[in-house]
Structure formats: structure tokens, C-alpha cells
Amino acid sequence: MNQRVVIFDTTLRDGEQSPGCSMTVPEKLRMARKLVELGVDIMEAGFPIASQGDFDAVQAVSREYPDVRVAALCRSNKMDVERAGEALAYAKKPVIHTFIATSDIHLKFKLKKSRQEVLEAAVKAIELARTYADDVEFSAEDASRTDPDFLEEITLAVVNAGASTVNLPDTVGYSIPDEYAALIRRMVKAVDDRAIISVHCHDDLGLAVANSLAAVQAGARQIECTINGIGERAGNCSLEEIVMAMHTRRDKLPYTTGINAEHIYAASRLLTSIITFGPQPNKAIVGDNAFAHEAGIHQDGYLKEKSTYEIIDPKTVGVPESKLVLGKHSGRHALKQRCSDLGYELTKEELDVVYHGFTELADRVKGVRNDAIIELVKGSMAKAAIAE
């Protein structure tokens, strides 16, 4: 089986539609440029029927970046599909992405439609979308809570109608890895090589990346994800986490993507500067602490050999350097290194004095700054001069 996994980035659509993340057209264009450098295969630029801004964003992004596949989202009805088609009119590589909910819970309470009605709407939307684009994706919203027999029926029906990708979202982040993998395996077998099975996982239980990986191991070949994991509620599968999981654990996950990992950190920072929040400090790969070491034992090991406590060289993802944070758990080795970085080569005796002052200070403050260390070094030197 082909091991290349398509990275479908939905930062500008699912990400953008979550609280604090809305973006103007110029902001989407700036972000799109970074996504192109990053090497995503598909950028979902908006939901054209939702607003004029989203329509304009899809149009602008697809005009500006003709060499990348640009997707527009639409519900499975005529007006939505036509609007998506119009927004992509100038695209060289348009992708029309239609969706409709398929779980009984959504059919009963939200759509008030029967399974047959949903199936017919899905097929009609794909047929119409194919009049605008060859590359058409269907998403069965809430797929993970859908009766698998019905999911297989609708999956085959949309593939017969011309969908080249069928996305099976874990819309509410409810699934667990082996369960989701089993569902994906069944659908991959059903469509064989007639379409790509895609996954789109939300992080309500913190399992979006794990579920997406399990799905790839079960045969999915497209992952929908976002920078910093932004998206509805708890967010989407984080692009940086899933890509680096496959990169770092090639031994167990022998899949490839087109991502240029060295642009990951810059993409994360750019997004942070555009929306209203950044990743939490302990966020994998791009958080402030992702490559920071404070505990003395860790710092000592790291200074002897980085791989003792780092599984990724920060430069691989474009992070300038690892940080040794000097706090109350730090040891002499890291303090000596920091003094040396600051231009002070200390003897063992001088280091003892500085270390003593440092531990007293570190007990009182959360992290000791460089200027405080310099003060301690100068103080110890002054003491040494008086003693002489």
C-alpha cells in the first residue's frame, strides 16, 4: 500500500471557526503563504456560503497559490455547492468538500431527515460538485457515531457518484484509537483503491492525534489537521504533533508526508500573532517548554548528551535552541554552563559560592533570570577579591 499520507490543513476553516480565531482575508493570505512553505498538500480556505469574507478568502487564496490544492467547504445542497464552485472558479487545483451528518442522533435532532434522504442529498451534492471540480471530497459528519452499515452504504454511494476522497470525521472527539481504526479499516476495504479514506479528529478527549495515527495504520491516507491544533471546542488534530510523530517514529510509522518540518515553528508563531492565543507552554513540539529543561538531573544528562532527554533536535522543527531553565530544580552543571554562556568562566570555588546564592534565590522565584545570575557572579567575585 502507498505510504504517502496527504496533509489536509484546515487551520483556515475549522481552526478559524473557533472562538478567538477568526481571520480577515489578508490574515488568511499571510497564513496561507506559510502553509505553502510548510508543504501542506491541501489548504481548506473557508466555507464560502457562511460569509462574504469566507467566499473572498477562498477566492483570494486559490488565486494567489495556484500550485496548491485549495478546498472550499459546503453542505450537501445546491446553493452551498454552487457557492463553493464560484469561489473556486479561478483555482487551478480546486477541491470541493461537501458534507452531511450521517449519525442517527444528528439525523433525528438536527437534520430531521431519514437515512435515505441524507444518502440522496450526499449523492446529488457530489454529482453537482463534479460539474465544478474533478477533485471532490465527501465528509460524513459524526461518522464515528454512525451505524457502520449505513456509513459503508453512503461511502460507496458517494464514491460511485464521483467522490475521490471520503472523510470520516470523529466530529465530537468521542472515539478511541482501536475502535476508530476498526471503522477506518472496514471503509478502506470497502472502497479499495477507488478513493482515499481521510480522517478528521477532534480533541475532546485529548485523542485526536492518537485516533488519526491509528486510522493511518488502518489504511487512511489523508489527515485533516490544524496548526497548534486549533479548531472547534478542544480543537483538531495538531499538524505539528502528527507530522513529528510519524517523522520521529519512522521505525513504527513508516509513512511519508510533503511537510518541510523546519517551517513548523514559524507557522505556529505566525498563527499565534494572528489569532488571540498561542499554544499552552507545555504543548508538544511548539510550546515554550517543549525543549526546555529545568530539573538538575535532566540538565546534567542533556549537557552530557542531548539525546538523553530530547527525542527531537529542536532545529528540525525550526525552534532556535533548547532552553535550560534555571530554577530550584537545576544543578551546578547547568549553572556553570549558563555562567559560561554569559561570559563568566568560574572556578570550582567560585561556582560553589554562586550556586549557594542561586539555590537561595531559586527557592523564592519561579525561574532565575540571566541578570540575577550576573549579579550573583559579580557578588561572588567581589567576595573573593575582599578575601584576597
Q: Which residues bind ligand KIV (CB under 6 A)?
A: 14, 99, 139, 141, 167, 169, 171, 200, 202
Report residue 131 as a C-alpha cell: 460539474
What gap in Å lies between CA 207 and CA 281, rounded to an integer?
19
**CA distance readout (Å), 172 to 7, 207, 233, 269:** 21, 11, 9, 27
DSSP secondary structure, 144-155, as one string: GGS-HHHHHHHH
Nearer to Zn ion, 164 or 167 (CB): 167
Contacted by 164, from Zn ion, ligand KIV, none: CB < 5 to 8 Å by type:
none
Q: How many residues does this entry show for the chain?
A: 388
**Coil, strand or helix: which one is 78?**
helix
Nearer to ligand KIV, 14 or 240 (CB): 14
Minimum distance, C-beta of residue 188 to ligand KIV, in the bound complex (Å): 18
The stretch near Zn ion (CB under 5 A) out of 7-15, 81-89, 115-123, 208-216 is: 7-15
**Coil, strand or helix: which one is 27?**
helix
Nearer to ligand KIV, 106 or 333 (CB): 106
Contacted by 300, from Zn ion, ligand KIV, none: CB < 5 to 8 Å by type:
none
* Nearest of 359, 348, 357 to residue 377 by alpha carbon: 357
Contact 239, 212 (CB under 8 A): no
What gap in Å lies between CA 30 and CA 236, rounded to an integer?
21
Minimum distance, C-beta of residue 376 to ligand KIV, in the bound complex (Å): 53
Nearer to ligand KIV, 17 or 380 (CB): 17
Contacted by 144, from Zn ion, ligand KIV, none: CB < 5 to 8 Å by type:
none
Minimum distance, C-beta of residue 187 to Zn ion, in the bound complex (Å): 18
**Does 350 interact with Zn ion (rule: CB under 5 A)?**
no
Nearer to ligand KIV, 28 or 202 (CB): 202
- Cβ-proximal residue to Zn ion, closest one: 14
Minimum distance, C-beta of residue 169 to Zn ion, in the bound complex (Å): 6
Nearer to ligand KIV, 152 or 288 (CB): 152
Nearer to ligand KIV, 85 or 235 (CB): 235
Contact 275, 231 (CB under 8 A): no
Minimum distance, C-beta of residue 149 to ligand KIV, in the bound complex (Å): 20
**CA distance readout (Å), 270 to 31, 42, 291:** 7, 19, 19
Minimum distance, C-beta of residue 44 to ligand KIV, in the bound complex (Å): 9
**Does 14 interact with Zn ion (rule: CB under 5 A)?**
yes
**Does 142 interact with Zn ion (rule: CB under 5 A)?**
no
Nearer to ligand KIV, 57 or 376 (CB): 57
The 3-state DSSP composition of the chain as helix, strand, coil percent (nearest 5) reads 50, 15, 35
What gap in Å lies between CA 362 and CA 369, rounded to an integer?
10
Place of cell 517548554: 289
Minimum distance, C-beta of residue 232 to Zn ion, in the bound complex (Å): 5
* Nearest of 25, 29, 16 to residue 64 by alpha carbon: 29
Main-chain phi, psi angles of 328, to 5 degrees? -70, -10
Minimum distance, C-beta of residue 42 to Zn ion, in the bound complex (Å): 15
Q: Which chain residues interact with Zn ion by CB under 5 A? A: 14
